[in-house]
């Protein structure tokens, strides 16, 4: 592997034209009109998911981050519950009616029983900076973990609240965020990274794949092809699984037409 990396740790400041985030690329790929309104016209607030979903995702990330910082124990349920009590917000706005249980507690129960809970952290929220074509991508990999059967090897794991983003049959599409972040990992991790992983909080689904050069090359082609749409001139709307969470739906001709059928 020979990732084109900035080789830096930490956080990176993003400029509207100089650097891209995975969120910006994701917006472009799923709906050009959303990308135009959200990123070119700066109307970010229109695309924020519901309060509960945002809060659930953030709190779960915080809890899991603390969990991986904790000593390895045979009782992940107990550790996760202790962290939940310390970090989770309280009050009626926090509760979500998902099978009659608070959403985060249900997600933590699934996580505690999953293979992801047995991973050992090598690094948390690692800053990544990669160049693909003429564009720089910056972001943070959620977790770098030790591969169990090969302690000197690493894997890169991304956490998702729902599985909407990772339903693609194409492996490179499904792990696209991981692959972009791999390209930007600092050398002390990228040189020994051998696996990619995804964990979905709402379903407890954990999957991983072997990192191969073919997947990296495919990801680069996907990104470069997608970026060709960024300058327009046309930004057509595209119906997709994220439409119900989009604040632009009342003004979107495609969504309005679909709702009227």
Q: What is the pLDDT of residues 173-223, one digit of tens each?
A: 999 999 999 999 999 999 999 999 999 999 999 999 999 999 999 999 999
Distance separating alpha carbons of residues 241 and 97, to the nearest angstrom: 21
Is pLDDT above 90 for 249? no
Q: What is the mean pLDDT of residues 122-132?
A: 94
Q: What is the pTM of this model?
A: 0.85
Nearest alpha carbon to residue 80 among 57, 95, 62 = 62
Q: Is the pLDDT of residue 100 over 50?
A: no
% of the chain exceeding 90 in pLDDT? 52
Could you tell me the pLDDT band of residue 5, with boundaries at 50, 70 and 90? very low
3-state secondary structure of 153: strand
Separation CA 146–CA 72 (nearest Å): 13
Between residues 251 and 188, which one has the greater pLDDT?
188
- Domains of the chain and any CATH numbers: 19-227 (3.90.320)
**pLDDT at residue 212, as a whole number:** 97
pLDDT cut 70: percent of the chain above it? 82
pLDDT beyond 60 at 136: yes
Q: Of the ranges 91-100, 172-181, 235-244, which is most confident?
A: 172-181
Question: Residues 226-246: what's their mean pLDDT?
Answer: 85
Q: 150-164: string of b/e by CB count within 10 Å (b at 16+)?
A: eeebbbbbbbbbbee
Looking at residue 133, what DSSP letter applies? Answer: T
In this prediction, residue 218 carries a pLDDT of 97
- Does residue 107 carry a pLDDT above 90? yes
């Amino acid at each position: 592997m020979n990732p084109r990396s900035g080789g830096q740790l930490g956080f990176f400041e993003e400029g509207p034209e100089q650097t891209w985030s995975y969120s910006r690329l994701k917006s472009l790929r799923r709906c050009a009109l959303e990308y135009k309104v959200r990123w070119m016209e700066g109307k970010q607030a229109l695309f924020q998911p519901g309060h509960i979903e945002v809060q659930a995702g953030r709190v779960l990330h915080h809890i899991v981050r603390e969990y991986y910082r904790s000593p390895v124990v045979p009782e992940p349920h107990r550790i996760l519950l202790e962290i939940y009590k310390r970090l989770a917000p309280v009050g009626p706005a926090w509760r979500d009616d998902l099978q009659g249980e608070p959403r985060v507690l249900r997600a933590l129960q699934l996580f505690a029983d999953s293979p992801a809970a047995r991973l050992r952290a090598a690094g948390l929220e690692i800053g990544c900076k990669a160049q693909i074509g003429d564009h720089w991508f910056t972001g943070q990999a959620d977790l770098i973990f030790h591969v169990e059967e090969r302690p000197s090897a690493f894997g890169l794991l991304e956490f998702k609240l729902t599985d909407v983003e990772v339903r693609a049959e194409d492996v490179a599409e499904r792990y696209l965020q991981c692959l972009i972040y791999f390209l930007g990992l600092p050398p002390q991790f990228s040189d020994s990274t051998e696996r990619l992983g995804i964990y979905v909080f709402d379903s407890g689904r954990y999957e991983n794949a072997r990192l191969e050069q073919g997947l990296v090359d495919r990801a680069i082609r996907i990104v470069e092809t997608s970026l060709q749409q960024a300058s327009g001139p046309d930004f057509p709307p595209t119906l997709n699984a994220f439409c119900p969470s989009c604040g632009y739906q009342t003004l979107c001709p495609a969504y309005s037409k679909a709702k009227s059928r």
